[in-house]
Copies of this chain bind each other. A is one copy, B any other.
Amino acid sequence: MDWSWTVDKAIPRPLRVIFRGVGQVFFCGNAVTGLIFLAALYVGGITAGLAATVGVVSSTVAAYLLGFPDDEIDAGLYGFNGTLVGPCLFLFLEHSPQLWLYVVFASILSTIVLAALMRILQPYNIPASTSPFVLTCWMFMAAVFAFDSFSRGPILPAASIPTEVAYISMIPVEMWHVAVSKGVSEVMFADSVIVGVMFLVGIAITSFRGAVMALSGAIVGVITPVLLGADKSLIEMGLYAFNPVLTMMAIGWVFLKPSKKSAVLAFLAGMLTVVCQAGLANFLTPIGLPTLTFPFVLVMWMFLFAASKSKYWGNS
Contact = CB atoms under 8 A, between A and B. Distances in A.
B287 A286 contact: yes
A1 to B, nearest CB: 33
B117 A146 contact: no
Main secondary structure of the interface of A (DSSP, over half): helix
Contacts of A147: 165, 228-230, 278
Given A67-B310, A68-B310, A119-B309, A282 B145 contact: yes
A163 B146 CA distance: 8
Contact of A302 (B66, B67, B116, B286): B116
A287 B276 contact: no
Copy tally for this chain in the complex stands at 3
A306 interface: yes
Given A139-B276, A275-B139, A276-B143, A116 B301 contact: yes
Contact of A283 (B142, B163, B279, B282): B142
A148 interface: yes
Contacts of A309: 68-69, 115-116, 118-119
B115 A310 contact: yes
A281 interface: yes
B113 A282 contact: no
B275 A143 contact: yes
Contacts of A143: 275-276, 278-279, 282
Contacts of A313: 67
A305 B115 contact: yes
Interface string A253-290: 00000000000000000001001101111110011000
A228 B146 CA distance: 10
B66 A312 contact: yes
Q: Which among A112, A301, A302 has the highest number of chain B CB atoms within 10 Å?
A: A112
B310 A278 contact: no
Size bracket, chain A contacts: 35 or more
A109 interface: yes
Contact of A306 (B66, B279, B283, B303): B66
A10 to B, nearest CB: 29
A142 B278 contact: yes
A233 interface: no
A161 interface: yes
A149 B120 contact: no
A305 B161 contact: no
Given A119-B309, A143-B278, 18 more contacts: A67-B314, A68-B310, A68-B311, A69-B309, A109-B272, A112-B303, A113-B306, A114-B306, A115-B309, A141-B279, A142-B278, A143-B275, A143-B279, A146-B161, A146-B282, A147-B165, A147-B228, A147-B230
15 contacts: A66-B306, A66-B310, A67-B311, A67-B312, A113-B302, A116-B301, A119-B124, A139-B275, A139-B276, A142-B282, A143-B275, A143-B282, A147-B278, A148-B165, A148-B229
